[in-house]
């Protein structure tokens, strides 16, 4: 499954709501918050893409915060203070947060919540 770009608060809210309707209430939604200038973000991005192919029961989203004012606003709303950051959602609620480019923690959290 491809990683879906999210560029605004409205897009994120719609994606989380749609996850319940399209894929079932217990669907795991993961969003990767990053920026274009972040080295660790660039390192983990291909791994995140691979996980989206490997874990097809989850929905993978990505927000690049410095690409638009709306994306920056979303990152502020979600309390992103450092990148990369990964937020995990289920049933419309945030259930987990991982800060940093920790591939092992990211994959373990996906496995635990599928």
Catalytic residues: 38, 41
- φ and ψ at residue 34, rounded to 5 degrees: -150, 180
User: Other C-beta atoms within 10 Å of 103: how many?
Assistant: 13
- φ and ψ at residue 105, rounded to 5 degrees: -65, -40
Determine the Cα–Cα distance for residues 45 and 40; give it in Å rounded to an integer: 9
Name which of 79, 89, 80 is nearest 58 in CA terms: 89
DSSP SS3 for 31: strand
């Amino acid at each position: 499954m491809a990683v879906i770009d999210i560029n605004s608060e409205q897009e994120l809210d719609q994606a989380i709501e749609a996850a319940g309707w399209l894929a079932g209430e217990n669907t795991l939604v993961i969003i990767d918050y990053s920026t274009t200038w972040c080295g660790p973000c660039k390192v983990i991005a291909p791994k995140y893409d691979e996980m989206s192919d490997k874990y097809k029961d989850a929905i993978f989203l990505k927000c690049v915060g410095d690409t638009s004012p709306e994306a920056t606003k979303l990152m502020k709303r979600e309390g992103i203070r450092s990148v990369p950051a990964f937020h995990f959602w289920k049933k419309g609620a945030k259930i987990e947060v991982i800060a940093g480019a920790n591939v092992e923690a990211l994959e373990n959290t996906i496995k635990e919540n599928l």
